Amino acid sequence: MQVTIEGLTFRRATPDDTERIAEIIDGEPGQEAIGIAGSAELARRFGMGLVRLRNSPQGWQHTVVAETNGEVVGIMQAGAATQTLRVTPAMALLALRTFGLLRIRGVLSRFRARGRVQTHAPHGAYHIGELHVDPRYRNRGIGGALLDYAEAEARASGYKQMSLSTTTTNPARHLYERHGFAVVQTRTDAAYERHTGITGRLLMVKDLVWRRRPSLAGGC
């Protein structure tokens, strides 16, 4: 049974939210992140370090937070779809400091495998890049509320389509399907599966344009 949280509010993140954003996204790394990094601790250190980087693509500037009773309980990073993630010198230095010279070659190989299952959002879509809920607050409707917030924002901005990417094993897929998203692409890779235990990744899309059915009335 799902218990909803009363008084849930949404706002744009501020610099003061950085540590909480890092905790929610990477405090408990998922199966994919652990497989790529090589351990839960390394995945946590790299992921949280990435959020903390100045002008990070996962930083506070790109984040909406869900809050109740003054506590941030969920986060979302979404907006215009971008096809590539530019690796900056700061990211490269973070990787070197996190994994060290001895591990870095193996990590890079696993990152390449991850790249082979990366899906690409449709051009012009409103893309949800990250959506996470604090584990203590899951199954209370927060994830669904964040999806509703995203859809309202997408419609208000004139987007005609929304998209997101997730792993083939993510149980949140059922939440996305209940909110109208459908799988349009599946990408798999043997090396990725060997490292992570996950077959691959999915691209899910939701159309926001209501199409009226043709009228059957009348004749020729």
Tell how far CA 65 is from the center of its chain.
14
Provide the Cα torsion 196, 113, 53, 51; round to 10°.
-40
pLDDT digits (tens, 9 = 90+) for 140-179: 999 999 999 999 999 999 999 999 999 999 999 999 999 9
Going from N- to C-terminal start, the domains of the chain cover 9-207
Q: What is the pTM of this model?
A: 0.89
Q: Domain 9-207 belongs to what topology?
A: Aminopeptidase (3.40.630)
Which pLDDT value is given to residue 3?
Answer: 47
Which pLDDT value is given to residue 218?
Answer: 44
pLDDT digits (tens, 9 = 90+) for 38-50: 999 999 999 999 9
Which pLDDT value is given to residue 86?
Answer: 76
pLDDT digits (tens, 9 = 90+) for 8-31: 999 999 999 999 999 999 999 999
Separation between Cα atoms, residue 116 and residue 111, nearest integer Å: 9
pLDDT digits (tens, 9 = 90+) for 173-190: 999 999 999 999 999 999
Q: How does residue 87 score in pLDDT terms, banded at 50, 70 and 90? A: confident
Separation between Cα atoms, residue 173 and residue 178, nearest integer Å: 9
